[in-house]
Amino acid sequence: MPKTKTSSSVKKRFKTTATGKLLRRPAMQSHKLEKKSPKRKRGFGKDRPVHRADRRSVHKLFGRKKAR
Residue 62 lies in a domain: yes
Structural domains in the chain (count): 1
**Residue 53: CATH number of its domain:** 4.10.410
Tell me what pLDDT residue 2 has: 80
Average pLDDT per block of 10 residues along the chain, 68 residues long: 84 91 93 94 94 92 71
Residue type, 50: V
Tell me what pLDDT residue 65 has: 63
Phi/psi for 21 (5° steps) reads: -75, 150
Tell me what pLDDT residue 63 has: 81
Contact between 52 and 63 under an 8 Å Cβ cutoff? The reply is no
Phi/psi for 61 (5° steps) reads: -70, -25
Residue 4 domain boundaries? 1-27+40-68
Strand partners, 24: 14, 48
Tell me what pLDDT residue 66 has: 61
